[in-house]
Chains A and B, each alone.
Chain A
Amino acid sequence: MAGGLFSDYDLGGFYDEAIGTNGAPRPGQEPVVDWFDALTPDDLRYHGDLRDDVLRSRGITFTVYGEAQGIERTWPMDLFPRIIRADEWDVLERGLAQRVDAVNRFLEDLYVGDQAILNDGVVPRWLVMSSSGFEREAFNISVPNGARCLVSGVDVVRGADGRFLVLEDNLRNPSGVSYVLENRATMARVLTGAFDRMGIRSVDHYGRSLLSALKHAAPPAAGDDPVVCVLTPGVFNSAYFEHAFLARQMGVELVEGRDLVVDDHVVAMRTTGGLRRVDVIYRRIDDHFLDPVVFESGSSLGVPGLMAAVRAGTVTVANAVGNGVADDKAVYPYVPAMIRYYLGEEALIDNATTYVLWDDDERNAAFDRMDELVWKPVAESGGYGILIGPQASDAELAAMRDTVEADPRGWIAQEVVALSRVPSCVDGGLEGRHVDLRTFVLTGESIEVIPGGLTRVAMRKGSLIVNSSQGGGSKDTWVLSEDPPDPAAAEPAGGTI
């Protein structure tokens, strides 16, 4: 790699996913590292401009709330892909499927089961009952096949030793999958044919897989060809692009609440040809806006009478109502116990080390090292309300301590994970930047994990914040369909054949 773009590449003491500690590419990474290494800074800038043209012409945007000048921005995608080896993915895939399986069973147990896991004291009853995500309005509503987390977004990271850890689960309305598909399509246009022989697993089938999972969740009375629609809060939602994208991918209608009516406990959508019965609603609006009869009475986003129709069993709403209790961050520490309880297995992917602050001992221990931990509110998502101890001022830490003391159930503390890094394009060169990975898991006829997922990257030097609203970017994520032979293992032993 002498003289190439990697010649001055600095690992910075972190686990780098492309380059090993010896400075050589890790197994499986060689074709990409070599290709980028051979580029000149001008080549890299040229490809960057090309990428911007492609993204703009495809109209791929994301939305930032609270900004005066237009809320739509072009999607930031870094050209250097993140590559996951087949053997690494195998463990990740099984671990994610295992996790979602257990969480689905947990939600079934809570809402339509005997609450056995609570009665057996594996998860504290009070913890569930005090969760803002435990939705009593969803009690006794059954979900076909128990597919409560029809789409799950599980966030995983790799720490200093390269091991994957689950950082959090998103089981209500995880978003980002449209960017997985768009990143891939954009890469194909920019790096035309350069990596055709690498054997990268496809993600293009996501729309078909999602549609098939949704249809599988239809009420039995829906027949062989259930009607599916995507329910969006509207164009002002930050994920509207994705809602429209998914409806298009699946070839189904994109509707708002006012497009749906409930007639005699059956849901229908207004179409140019009159009312048409709907069997499955992939809703991208929060529980509390679904039905003004039951939830926010002032909300016009939802569909009056929808919850009664769901209870009557004429329509399925996905994801199911009430999933928030399982992605409550104070419940998350119990997921490994759920896996043990329901599946009789050990978790294949560990949680990040987490302290539950309602426990006096754990809270006091965490208070002793406030500036070393990450502090998170239990019910938020998208990075809101998080305080990163090592970067916080004394005043911020003191305020956090007061906040936690007032509501210990409402917060968790986690060890800082030294996020792994991947080479990223910066000013015509390559520098390591920290990444995480939002994976997407579908519960259909079986549990299916989309190969790869959305790699988010903190483009600011040294930053651990990967959220796109705060200067984060993304990377196409390649899962190898087959690992290259390990050169060490392939060396003939003793020189004979």
Chain B
Amino acid sequence: MRLDICYRALYAYDSWVAESQNEVRAAPVTDGRQHLVAYRLSVAPSSRAVAFTDYWGTRVDAFGVREPHLSLEIVAEAAVETGEAFLLPAPTDFDALAEPVFAATHGEYLARTPHADWGDGLAAAAADARADDIVATVVGVHDLVRERMAYEPGSTYIGIEVEKVLAEGHGVCQDFAHLAVAMCRSLGVPARYVSGYLFTTSDFTGEDVDGDIVNVQTHAWFEAAVPWYGWMAMDPTNGREVGPRHVKIGHGRDYDDVPPIRGAVSGSSVALVETDVEIRRMDPSQQAAVVQPPLTQPIGEPAPIEAQQQQQQ
């Protein structure tokens, strides 16, 4: 699917800012499932960005503004071609996780990190998802997160502990993703946080778009490592496979490795931040592609009433 994405962030300050220095991670990555066709970053007041690829393979644009300003606007435009979801890996034994090369190259995705620092409560919950093989376990974690969590924008904040998120049972896509990452790791399955965009009218249902244009926010999901397969991507917020309407920016151990923007501003100004992602489908002919059922809803069985109600919130 060909998608044009326009990510925009507007910082409005309550007093003059003399200097600001920033890093932007908004460019879709080119990988096995998607291809970045074009990308452009523009900033007002104008500034020259330097681009580099970070440790995780994400494109970073760094820029500074050193003239007094009351607002800062960052616009990242991308054209990307996405492909279909990969087939799920074949069932794989947990023993395979101990294979030396796999273990050595995935160790950093098993450690606790600030946003995925679990305790006994989360580990006990995750144990319910433990199946005989890794793939079923990851699907189980995905289902479990969706089962335990209600989608409520504004109910959490960046930096909230995963245990608290689980206990309170609501959050947004970042929380769903961190929870899934922490659960996988607590079971010994390497997992990573993914930042990206989703072409949908609702992050929670993930349903397809009636027209060809949506205005949304950045999205997040997770990937788990399966030996001899690679990374298996799942989106617990809406219970769908990561498919052609998902556009990946990058991944890391948690949010801190792939924040859309991080920066430093001189002085003590308070900023009002407004962000918006406009995604436009450029090949409408594919609009009526096959609709995939959510993974959490077993085919042929009606979803539980609560789940159906949730989906309409």
Contact = CB atoms under 8 A, between A and B. Distances in A.
B55 A137 contact: yes
Contacts of A137: 54-55
Q: Which 4 A-B pairs have the closest CB atoms?
A: A308-B62, A305-B21, A139-B55, A136-B55
Contact of A264 (B56, B64, B263): B64
B111 A130 contact: yes
A260 to B, nearest CB: 12
A265 B48 contact: yes
Interface residues of A, number: 26
A298 to B, nearest CB: 10
A308 B54 contact: no
Given A130-B107, A292-B264, 15 more contacts: A125-B105, A136-B56, A139-B55, A140-B52, A140-B54, A261-B19, A265-B62, A293-B62, A293-B262, A293-B264, A304-B19, A304-B264, A304-B266, A308-B64, A311-B50
Contacts of A312: 50
Contacts of B104: 118, 124-126
A311 B52 contact: yes
Contact of A263 (B23, B62, B64, B266): B64
Interface size class of B (residues with CB under 8 A): 20 to 34
Interface string B5-31: 000000000000001111100000000
Contact of A294 (B19, B23, B105): B23
Given A130-B111, A293-B263, A304-B64, A140 B105 contact: no
Interface in B91-141: 103-105, 107-108, 111
Contacts of B111: 130
A83 B192 CA distance: 56
A264 B263 CA distance: 15
Nearest to A141: B52
Interface in B42-67: 47-48, 50, 52-56, 62-64, 66
Nearest to A124: B104
Contact of A136 (B22, B23, B50, B54): B54
A129 interface: yes
29 contacts: A118-B104, A125-B107, A126-B103, A126-B104, A130-B111, A136-B56, A136-B257, A140-B52, A140-B53, A140-B55, A262-B64, A263-B66, A264-B48, A264-B66, A265-B50, A265-B62, A292-B264, A293-B21, A293-B23, A293-B262, A293-B264, A304-B21, A305-B62, A308-B21, A308-B23, A308-B62, A308-B63, A311-B52, A312-B50
B298 to A, nearest CB: 39
A393 interface: no
Interface in B238-271: 257, 262-264, 266
B246 to A, nearest CB: 25
A297 interface: yes
B103 to A, nearest CB: 7
Contacts of A125: 104-105, 107
A140 B19 CA distance: 27
Interface string A255-269: 000000111110000
Contacts of A293: 21-23, 62, 262-264
A314 B63 CA distance: 14
B245 to A, nearest CB: 30
Nearest to B18: A261
B64 A305 contact: yes
A356 B106 CA distance: 22
Contacts, number: 75
B55 A130 contact: no
Interface string A269-297: 00000000000000000000001111001
A140 B60 CA distance: 13
A308 B49 CA distance: 10
Nearest to B108: A129
Interface string A310-322: 0110000000000
Interface in A221-275: 261-265
A291 B263 CA distance: 10
B262 A297 contact: yes
Contacts of A305: 21, 62, 64, 264
Contact of B64 (A118, A265, A294, A311): A265
A141 to B, nearest CB: 9
A129 B107 contact: yes
Nearest to A139: B55
A294 B55 CA distance: 13
Interface in B199-225: none
A308 B23 CA distance: 9
Contacts of A264: 47-48, 64, 66
A297 B264 CA distance: 7
A137 B54 CA distance: 7
Contacts of A291: 264
A311 B23 CA distance: 13
Contact of A311 (B62, B107, B257): B62
A294 B107 CA distance: 23
Nearest to A302: B264
A139 B54 contact: yes
Contacts of B103: 126
Nearest to B100: A121
A308 B55 contact: no
With most chain A CB atoms within 10 A of its CB, the pick from B21, B54, B104, B107 is B21
Contacts of A136: 54-56, 257
Nearest to A264: B48
B218 to A, nearest CB: 19
Nearest to A308: B62
Nearest to A135: B55
A31 B66 CA distance: 63
With most chain B CB atoms within 10 A of its CB, the pick from A125, A126, A129, A305 is A305
Interface string A16-43: 0000000000000000000000000000
A261 B20 CA distance: 11
Contacts of B262: 293-294, 297
With most chain A CB atoms within 10 A of its CB, the pick from B104, B105, B257 is B104
Contacts of A261: 19, 66
Contacts of B53: 140
With most chain B CB atoms within 10 A of its CB, the pick from A137, A265, A297 is A265
Nearest to B23: A293
Contact of B50 (A263, A294, A308): A308
Contact of A126 (B20, B54, B63, B107): B107
Nearest to B257: A136
A44 to B, nearest CB: 56
A3 to B, nearest CB: 66
Contacts of A308: 21, 23, 50, 62-64
B99 to A, nearest CB: 13
